[in-house]
Structure 1
């Protein structure tokens, strides 16, 4: 028996839970003869479609515009206007406005190394946040089926440090907190060879970091490279934490990451300006008269 395709709302829920880039296309106004009425919706990804706005050239142009915005990572709201006898080459003769809501996917990405007590608390605290977490540990029994319970979380067995670090996506944030100082050092040294990793954090005391800096210098890393590492992590405004329970440490680390990953909103992605809305409704009224 063939499984029926997702409806647009089922697909939207699934894609937002997984952090997959997608566009929600909504027909917001129409005038004259059109394939569907306002409120019709479809969801568009790079390689799939869910539901329909009525088909034809108009829908193909909507899909093309949506996928172009996905490729650009152009998040937010974008309004597309279609004259079904002109731009779209259809015989309906109507006029349609489609609102494209672009969700570029879970961002940022966090590479978390270490599934100890603090790592588990960080993962739990991050669950409501729009982050995709790749979680690594060299111990095969460390994750306790966590990936089955939390969206946007992938668990990986850390087998080869160099291969793992080379495979990380560009612009991700890395946190190192394994059960082994030697493993921590190997990860930090490998991460410093990736200038496209956005931030690097290391758990540990001041004395641990002094020791690591000496080793990194001996291994040929320059001071400006070593300074890319934050250690200790979670020192908000330079203040060290007195409560050192795993939950408290995780809270400060997540707070620190929020400040590092927060980006100002582009004014163009804050919604439709009043003048645009007035023009939209005026054009629709003119087309229907």
Structure 2
């Protein structure tokens, strides 16, 4: 679940006058279903995202809905952290301990939500600062927070978060202005896909990837072939010259070529091989298509080392089927294997100026 989709859902709920509870995994010890930074939203009649499922999530939903009821009754519902020993109190076999942060987000608090949405939709690293003392939530870009000399403790905490890989992390600290805080880092998904082609497989793949931590640039010359709805993590590019878009993609991009034209496929493969700094180059088709392309590319002087970088047929070979949806799942599985091993599974502990805060 991407942060952008979570924020979009939150904004829609607030616009409808429905408060939600933002739940985040603030800290884990031992075996736990999700790492720090995992988050979900809970309303009175719905939930969105996940913190790991099972009895832990059921208990978290129960607490969140109780907070909404209390808030509507005018009772105190300040943000708080709850400690869950998974084996003893929750009945899950993980055996570790999870600390969850709970925060009621009311329709009157749309300002920080819209600010966060803007940062998330612009693919900017941003930070959400939750005061357990009840002060308003703060949102800022990671860059601006790290450069803010007025708040050195926050800047130091942000610098610590910035050292982690992955698209989310949390730090819980005690010594920011005498109040306990949860500082949550959210960054764009590190994996970027340049998808060339909006045919049956391309459309099915976009639907599969819509909920996954990946950024997609979707390129095709046929406007009518794009989906009527566009996922939050996808940017469509309509162009009569798809091969010209190659130079605009970032280094280490994962590339998937699945256009309506074999001639265009070949030209795109050539252009990417000439550039050389891609992270993955997948070509849809059969083994005979690959053999034909290799013969043509050898005739044009491409080396065996270059040809070996082409992944074709593309997709996890363990997923068998020729339906577009099945092919899309096979490709998505292969793409997810390219993600860096997350480094945000540890809770950051700082003795100065911030230290981990835990609930006894």
TM-score, normalised to structure 1's length?
A: 0.71
The answer for unaligned runs of 5 or more in structure 1 is: 29-36, 50-54, 84-93, 283-289
| C-alpha distance after superposition, 1:169-202 (max 9, x if no partner) | 1222110000000000011111112332110100
Q: CA deviation at 1:5?
A: 10
The alignment status of 1:271 with 2:347, answered yes or no, reads yes
Q: 1:62 aligns with which of 129, 149, 154?
A: 154
Q: 1:250 aligns with which of 321, 328, 331?
A: 328
3-state SS, counterpart of residue 133 of structure 1? strand
Structure-2 change in CA distance of 1:221 and 1:246 (3 Å): same
RMSD: 3.7
Q: CA deviation at 1:272?
A: 4.7
| C-alpha distance after superposition, 1:71-99 (max 9, x if no partner) | 9867522456656xxxxxxxxxx534543
Pairing of 1:25-64 with structure 2 (within 5 A): 25-28=129-132, 37-38=133-134, 40-45=136-141, 57-58=150-151, 62=154
Q: CA deviation at 1:18?
A: 6.5
Pairing of 1:3-42 with structure 2 (within 5 A): 7-12=111-116, 15-16=119-120, 19-28=123-132, 37-38=133-134, 40-42=136-138
TM-score, normalised to structure 2's length?
A: 0.58
Determine the structure 1 residue equivalent to 2:189. Answer: 106
Q: CA deviation at 1:17?
A: 6.3
Q: Which runs of 4+ in 1 moved over 6 A?
A: 71-74, 273-276
Structure-2 change in CA distance of 1:25 and 1:218 (3 Å): same
Number of aligned residue pairs: give it.
Answer: 247
Pairing of 1:117-266 with structure 2 (within 5 A): 117-147=200-230, 150-237=231-318, 241=320, 243-261=321-339, 263-266=340-343
Q: CA deviation at 1:155?
A: 0.9
Structure-2 change in CA distance of 1:255 and 1:38 (3 Å): same
Q: CA deviation at 1:203?
A: 0.3
The answer for unaligned runs of 5 or more in structure 2 is: 1-107
3-state SS, counterpart of residue 150 of structure 2? helix
| C-alpha distance after superposition, 1:125-172 (max 9, x if no partner) | 11111211110112232214333xx21111112333443101101222
Larger of the two Rg values belongs to structure: 1
Contact 2:161 2:169 in 1 (8 A): no
Determine the structure 2 residue equivalent to 1:285. Answer: none
Q: CA deviation at 1:57?
A: 2.5
Q: Distance in 2 between matches of 1:164 and 1:82?
A: 49
Contact 2:196 2:219 in 1 (8 A): yes
The alignment status of 1:95 with 2:178, answered yes or no, reads yes
Q: Distance in 1 between matches of 2:159 and 2:264?
A: 41
Q: Distance in 2 between matches of 1:48 and 1:220?
A: 49
Determine the structure 1 residue equivalent to 2:43. Answer: none
Q: Distance in 1 between matches of 2:245 and 2:309?
A: 19
